[in-house]
Amino acid sequence: MQINKVEICGVNTSELPVLSNKQMLELLPKIKDGDENARQEFIQGNLRLVLSVIQKFNNRGENIDDLFQIGCIGLIKAIDNFDLSQNVRFSTYAVPMIIGEIRRYLRDNNPIRVSRSLKDIAYKALQVRERLTRENAKEPTISDISKELNIDREDIVLALDAIQDPISLFDPIYQDNGDAIYVMDQVQDKKGNDEVWIEEIALREAIKKLNSREKLVLDLRFYKGKTQIEVAEEIGISQAQVSRIEKNALKNMRKYI
C-alpha cells in the first residue's frame, strides 16, 4: 500500500487545503442551512483527515484509492450527522465515523465469505458488548451478551470468530537476531497421531447411532458451518427445536464414545 502516494483518486494530496477549527465552525452552520459551496469547501478542507485515518490500515494490502473513497464516505456521513450543539471538535467526532466505514468495507470484502445472518449476529453482539461496557465500566462475558440477545453462546462465539481478519501462515510472530518465527512454525500437525485416528473411528461409530434428523442437524451445524437459525430455516423447524436436537445428539454421542 503506497501511503506516500501523491495522487489518490485523481486528488493531488500535496495541495489539499487545511481548515482551522474557527473556519470549520463558520462553515458548519452554512452547511446545515443547505449551502452546497460551504459543504464542498468543508469536505476539501478535511480530506487530509481521511488520509491520516487510512494510514491505520496500511498493513491490509488494500488499494489506497479504494480506502480513500470509503474514508470520504465516512467523512460525509460525519458532516451530515454532526451536532453543532455539542461541545466537541469535528475531528473528534469524524475519526471514529471514518474508521467505522472503512472497517465495514473490509469486513464486507473479506476473502472468507461469511453468511449475512452470521454477520448480523456478530454486529449485534459487538453493539451489545460496547453498550454493556459503557454501562458497567467493564467488558461483558460471552454469557452476558448471550442473555442480552437471547442467542446461544456457541452461535455468538462462532459469529465473532467469523468476522475476524484471517491470519497468514507467513505472518511473523517473533524475531530473534534477524531470524523470524512465523505462524506456520507454531502449527502442529496431528493428522498422523494414533490417538486422533482412534478418536475419529469412535466418532464415526457414535454418529451411526443417531437418527436421521440428528445426523442432518449435526451435519449442517458442524460440517456445513450453519447457525441454528439457518438450520431451522432449511429444515422447517424452530431454532429452539434445532437447539434441543443438537444437544440431545451430542449427549448421546458422548455416551457411545
Final residue in a domain of this structure, among 108, 129, 150: 108
Based on the fold, state whether residues 100 and 118 are members of the same structural domain.
no
- 241 or 253: which carries more pLDDT confidence? 241
**Domain termination site, one of 108, 123, 152:** 108
What pLDDT is attached to residue 152? 87
- Give the domain extent around 48: 7-108
Going from the C-alpha of 207 to that of each of 21, 101, 200, 232, 249, the distances in angstroms are: 67, 45, 11, 20, 9
Q: Residue 89 falls within a domain, yes or no?
A: yes
Residues 17 and 33 in one domain: yes
User: Over 50: is that where the pLDDT of 79 sits?
Assistant: yes
Residues 83, 122 within the same domain: no
- Tell which wins on pLDDT, 106 or 23: 23
Looking at the structure, tell me whether residues 16 and 104 fall in a common domain: yes
Tell me: do 213 and 248 sit in the same domain: yes
Shared domain check, 167 and 237: no
Greater confidence, 5 or 105?
Answer: 105
- What are the pLDDT digits (tens) for 157-180? 888 877 765 555 555 555 555 555
Residue 229 in domain: yes
> Average of pLDDT values for 230-253?
87
Residues 205 and 248 in one domain: yes
If one counts the domains in the chain, the total is 3
**pLDDT surpasses 60 at 195:** no
Q: In this prediction, what percent of the chain has a pLDDT beyond 70?
A: 74
**Domain-ending residue, one of 90, 108, 126:** 108
Burial class (CB in 10 A: 0-12, 13-18, 19+), 223: exposed
Q: What is the pTM of this model?
A: 0.43
Q: In this structure, what C-alpha cell is assigned to residue 57?
A: 490500515
